[in-house]
Chains A and B, each alone.
Chain A
Amino acid sequence: MTLGLTHFLVLSTLLFCLGLFAMLTRRNAVAILMGVELMLNAANINLVAFNKYVAPGALNGQVFALVVITLAACEAGVGLALVMSAYRNLETVHVDEINVMKW
């Protein structure tokens, strides 16, 4: 059994679902952001894997993975800034306690 595309897809699926689980269940906003990072990485694995196994002629998958990393960095920067702002104003980072917009 040689290493194939499916292996990487299974890995990314599991990683994605772990990230999603973190987003669905964690109360801490920072933890949720970490879940987002996991999901982005799962997507990146898919991009690079598909680049190698499906369309190796060009490097578009890797280029896109790099762009995603860039966006992940931006997302982390802005998201964490939001977390800090929320903490300063509401004294909590637990998203179920941040309910200013609730009815």
Chain B
Amino acid sequence: MGQLAAFIILSVVTLVSAVVVVASQNIVRSALSLIPTLLGIAGVYILLQAEYVAGIQVLIYAGAITVLILFVIMLTEHGTGARFRQVNEQVLPGTIAVAVLAALLMAVFFGTAWPRAAGTLPQYTATSIGTTFLTSAILVFIVTSFVLLVALMGAIVIARRER
């Protein structure tokens, strides 16, 4: 019961701030309201017994990526961007499409009888994640380093001012 209450509170926080992110005319406000959204999702992870993922969510998303987005906003648009039209002419078809998609996805989720495999989640997920990375997910582990390398180099090449 308490968990449900916590879930509802977190969902409301997440969705309301997400709506602000999507709908705000002020781009800075959008970026800032991304933070409660991501924090709310971190709470949802805790509800799902994924403490480590929750911590990373706070660290990377709420911390680093949001800062990056704010940087870019400050580097590009003069001011909050409020004097520009923020939406394009696709609002109506987009709304309809999104609504229909949401309805269809709900139908799928409600209409499916999800199976349940045996076993329980471990007590300390970080330990298990470390074991997974070093054993079955070793390839992911190494390839990820390549992805990061390529992203870093590519971003530097793209962002640097051409001389």
**Docked CA distance A51–B21 (Å):** 28
CB distance from A21 to the nearest CB of B (A): 5
Inter-chain contact total with CB atoms closer than 8 Å: 233
| Contact between B148 and A74, CB atoms less than 8 A apart | yes
CB distance from A3 to the nearest CB of B (A): 5
Chain B 76-108, CB-CB to A under 8 Å as 1, else 0, gives: 110001001111101101110111011001100
Q: Which residues of A contact B21 (CB under 8 A)?
A: 18, 22, 34-35, 38
Interface of B is mostly: helix
The verdict on A52 contacting B61 (CB below 8 Å), with A31-B27, A34-B31, A76-B68 known, is: no
**Docked CA distance A48–B30 (Å):** 26
**Docked CA distance A26–B77 (Å):** 15
Residues from 39 to 53 in B contacting A, C-beta threshold 8 Å: 41, 44-45, 47-50, 52-53
| Contact between A78 and B151, CB atoms less than 8 A apart | yes
| Contact between A11 and B11, CB atoms less than 8 A apart | yes
| Contact between A73 and B64, CB atoms less than 8 A apart | yes
Q: Which residues of A contact B69 (CB under 8 A)?
A: 30, 33-34, 76, 80
Q: Which residues of A contact B75 (CB under 8 A)?
A: 84, 87
The verdict on A13 contacting B72 (CB below 8 Å), with A62-B125, A65-B53, A73-B65 known, is: no
Our pick among A3, A15, A85 for the contact of B7 (Cβ within 8 Å) is A3
**Docked CA distance A38–B18 (Å):** 8
Q: Which residues of B contact A20 (CB under 8 A)?
A: 98, 101
The verdict on A93 contacting B14 (CB below 8 Å), with A57-B118, A85-B159 known, is: no
Given contacts A37-B38, A59-B125, A72-B60, 13 further A-B pairs with CB under 8 A are A14-B15, A14-B102, A15-B18, A24-B97, A38-B18, A38-B22, A38-B37, A44-B53, A52-B49, A63-B140, A80-B71, A87-B76, A88-B161
Question: A-contacting residues of B (Cβ < 8 Å)?
Answer: 1, 3-4, 7, 11, 14-15, 18-19, 21-22, 27, 30-31, 34, 37-38, 41, 44-45, 47-50, 52-53, 56-57, 60-61, 64-65, 68-69, 71-73, 75-77, 81, 84-88, 90-91, 93-95, 97-99, 101-102, 105-106, 109-110, 114-122, 125, 128-129, 132-133, 137, 140, 144, 147-148, 150-152, 154-156, 158-159, 161
Would you mind naming 10 contact pairs between A and B with Cβ atoms under 8 Å apart? A14-B102, A20-B98, A21-B94, A37-B34, A52-B121, A54-B116, A57-B119, A74-B147, A76-B65, A80-B69
